[in-house]
Amino acid sequence: MWTLARKILLHDRVKFVVAAAGVSISVLLVLVQIGLYLGFMGNASTLIDHAKADLWVTASGNEQFDFATPMDERLYYRVAATPGVEHAERMLLSFGQFKLQSGGTQGVQVVGIEKGARLLRPWNLQHGSLERLDDVDGIVVDQTEFAKLQIKEVGARREISGVRSKVVGLTKGIRSFTTSPFVFANLDSARAFSRLGPNDLTYILIKVQPGADVRAVKARISAMPHLDAFTKAEMSERTRSYWSKRTGVGVGFFTTAIMGIIVGLVVVGQILYNGTLEHIKEYGTLKAMGAENAAIVRVIMYQALISAGVGFVFGGALALGAQAGMKALNLSVSLTPTLLIGTAVLTVVMCALAALLSVLKVLRLDPAMVFKG
């Protein structure tokens, strides 16, 4: 039956190519759109996911990670003294204006960390030294943001919100979800770059004592006035959910992916149905010779599987090419193994559904029609 399915499908190579192309476009749209979504969501929670903190503490009422309301530093000492807390660090996340070499400015997202911080530090360092972040004017920026910041090397001097700074380190792959590049600095410098008060901070990062119940420590901190505490997983999901649902980003990406699936359904369904009509007498002959419906249905489903397999291979290759091209444009397309496997399964299901019209046509076929006219 497999050989018969292949011969029928390849009988008209032009139609087979069209069917495979339809599946390929569908696979490409699904992979690229969902891959872009995953890449953006990864950027949205990248600081949280790379931090070694068990708990994130913020001022109560903050809904969005990137635009958190500052809180007074005195709250830090209360949190640090909470039973079950092994280590606490202050962090500042705010915005500043980066003076460009050309004379203009670029908005940046300032990440202020304590000197000698252990729970959150820049990662993937390519050049320079993280120890230099303790310098009064030291900053670390990412290589992927060179075009925006007009920086090419360690040692470049710039101003952030009117305050002098010097690039002491370059990382690779640390990008924010917003259009504002991350700039890492020590806590005091970050406050100056953000024009915040000397006692302002936005987050307190907590490392729980070994053996302590994270949920119990979280409950103790959340019970304090004006504070909310979240586990690392909760904070990450909360941030991704905000950008995905509150801004409509998720709807936009998944709508395009669904359109790709519809395109594949229509194209493959039409090709398989036309192929069934063209070979309807052959199917009738098989039924007249005693072939069971299940055997004939397998022939059609095998055709759908062949289309799915060829389309997925070419669509996946196109998606990998698009990933490389978008990386050059500073866009992240996350083609995870889970996404690839899920898309492969979806492609098979899509092609199987597209074959239903052909299956129904064959099931209703009267073998006697072979002997008519």
pLDDT in tens, 342-356: 989 988 888 888 777
Q: Report the share of the chain in percent with pLDDT over 90.
A: 38
- Name the least confident of 8-12, 13-17, 228-232: 8-12
Smallest CA-to-CA distance from 138 within 120, 111, 102 is with: 111
Please give the mean pLDDT across all residues of the chain: 85
Determine the length of the chain: 373
Return d(Cα 228, Cα 58) in angstroms, integer: 5
Tell me how far the alpha carbon of residue 366 is from its chain's centroid. Answer: 51
Q: What is the mean pLDDT of residues 53-62?
A: 92
In one letter, which amino acid is 143?
Q
Q: What is the mean pLDDT of residues 299-312?
A: 83
Total Cβ atoms within 10 A of residue 350: 27
Q: Which residues pair with 206 in a beta bridge?
A: 55, 88
Q: What is the mean pLDDT of residues 184-196?
A: 92
